Amino acid sequence: MSTLPAESGPEDANNRSFWMPGNYHKTVKRTEDSFQACNDIVACFQERARVERQYAQQLNEWSAKWKPLVDASPLYGSLLRAWQCFLSSADRLSSLHSSVCRALVSEDGDRIRTWQKDTFHKKMFGGFKESQDFDTGFSRAQKPWAKRLKKLEKARAAFHKACRKEHMVRERETHAQGNPDIAIEKQRKIQEEMELAHQETEKVRARYEKVLEEVTRYAPRYMEEMESIFDQSQEEERKRISFLKQAFLSIHRHLDVTNNDSVKAVYNELHNTLMSISDQEDLRWWKNTHGPGMPTDWPQFQEWTPGKKHKKGKKDVNQKAVQVERSVMIGGVRVKALYDYVGQETDELSFKAGEEFVKIEDEDDQGWCRGMMDGGKEGLYPANYVEVV
């Protein structure tokens, strides 16, 4: 809990001044404070790295949990792809935040630790060499000054003591002069005591002024020596501040995912996928897959022909099974190629994107349809390479 600073007079402020003996210790202590600050910074952002790692793990867990449910959802077409894109985006963001975690620990943390090791040199019995050097420099510069201040304080105390004594004697003299009950002899002794006290005060004043003059004359040299050591301390502190500024900027660069090109790519792709949701495309797919656009084996008149009698072998049974599985379309369905396709086998069709032909058999379990080109050539082709015209 913070408190308001207590009111202090000019004397207290002067006692806290850098120029007073021993008050340079706060400046010297900055070295130890900076060392501890490095430890705190590393610990702080190591904890942030754990947050990034946990977030990455949670994104992966969320994506893995929902993927089978989304894939099996009743949505279809471009709407389903948009939903699935949220999951793939989460996987990519998980990788990004895992890289942020690694950067905070292996790059930023190690960088600060290395700089800390090279900048602060521990002494065998505690403390740092840099602190000792500055403490020694300030102490050497302040020693003559502190000695003179002590002498000045002694002279000031003696002068004030003499002034108090003179003041007391003066009051007694004033009281004796107006009092007829005090004998003349007594009044003369008081007057003599007053003169001696005044002489002593003037003597002590002269000594006090002389010491003050010596202190005043030495002050510029003292200030120059102290400022020289202080400037060295300031330069070391400037280097520390400059390094930590760059360290913070590096940490900011790793944490600021708003300017990361990969993040922009993830959300741009997600946005484009969402914008590509098409009611017309999805409704057409549903019509051709589950509606009136589906191929149908309409009834037609078939002539009877006597079959040839022959012994059924294994080959004949397999051929019959294939014929039963084949769903021949009456008249076929006109389709248009969405992509180029080059047949890999002799029983496959080859076509260019935009070319039209007739689908004469529905898609099998492997995703293949049978079609017939305008020239009469029949063959297999991938069902997802065409759309119904």
Residue 312 has pLDDT above 50, yes or no: no
Instruction: Work out whether the CA dihedral 215, 217, 220, 221 comes out positive or negative.
Output: negative
What's the confidence (pLDDT) of residue 70?
Answer: 95
> Got the DSSP string for 131-191?
HHHHHHHHHHHHHHHHHHHHHHHHHHHHHHHHHHHHHHHHHHHHHHHT-TTS-HHHHHHHH
In one-letter notation, the amino acid at residue 280 is Q
% of the chain residues with pLDDT over 70: 90
Question: Which of 352, 303, 357 lies closest to 329, judged by CA?
Answer: 357
What's the confidence (pLDDT) of residue 313?
Answer: 41
| DSSP character at residue 103 | I
In our burial notation (b when 16+ CB lie closer than 10 A, e otherwise), range 255-272 reads eeeeeeeebeebeeebee
Q: What is the pLDDT of residues 105-150, one digit of tens each?
A: 999 999 999 999 999 999 888 899 999 999 999 999 999 999 999 9
Q: How far apart are CA 192 and CA 130, in angstroms?
A: 63
What's the confidence (pLDDT) of residue 10?
Answer: 53
What's the confidence (pLDDT) of residue 6?
Answer: 45
8 A C-beta contact, residue 362 and residue 353: no
pTM above 0.85, yes or no: no
User: What confidence tier does 324 reach under pLDDT thresholds 50, 70, 90?
Assistant: very low
User: What confidence tier does 174 reach under pLDDT thresholds 50, 70, 90?
Assistant: confident
Q: Where are the domains of the chain?
A: 17-168+216-291, 333-388
User: What confidence tier does 308 reach under pLDDT thresholds 50, 70, 90?
Assistant: low
> Got the DSSP string for 242-279?
HHHHHHHHHHHHHH-GGG-HHHHHHHHHHHHHHHT--H
What architecture is domain 17-168+216-291?
Up-down Bundle (1.20)
Q: What is the pLDDT of residues 239-273, one digit of tens each?
A: 999 999 999 999 999 999 888 888 889 989 999 99
Q: What is the pLDDT of residues 187-217, one digit of tens each?
A: 788 888 889 999 999 999 999 999 999 999 9
Q: How deeply is 370 buried, as exposed, middle or buried, from its count of CB atoms within 10 A (0-12, 13-18, 19+)?
A: buried
What's the confidence (pLDDT) of residue 234?
Answer: 95
User: What confidence tier does 309 reach under pLDDT thresholds 50, 70, 90?
Assistant: very low
- Section 338-361 average pLDDT: 90
In one-letter notation, the amino acid at residue 198 is H
For 248, other C-beta atoms within 10 Å of its C-beta total 13
What's the confidence (pLDDT) of residue 14?
Answer: 65
Q: How far apart are CA 34 and CA 169, in angstroms?
A: 59
Question: Which of 113, 95, 15 lies closest to 52, judged by CA?
Answer: 95
What's the confidence (pLDDT) of residue 261?
Answer: 86
The residue that leads in pLDDT, 321 or 33, is 33
Q: At what angle do helices 110-119 and 184-255 cross, to 10 degrees?
A: 140
What's the confidence (pLDDT) of residue 89?
Answer: 94
In our burial notation (b when 16+ CB lie closer than 10 A, e otherwise), range 154-190 reads ebeebbeebeebbeebeebbeebeeeeeeeeeeeeeb
Q: What is the mean pLDDT of the chain?
A: 87
Q: How far apart are CA 162 and CA 156, in angstroms?
A: 10
User: Domain spanning 333-388: which superfamily?
Assistant: SH3 Domains (2.30.30.40)
8 A C-beta contact, residue 112 and residue 41: yes
Asked whether the domain spanning 333-388 has the same topology as the one spanning 17-168+216-291, the reply is no
- Section 215-220 average pLDDT: 95
What's the confidence (pLDDT) of residue 187?
Answer: 78
| DSSP character at residue 29 | H
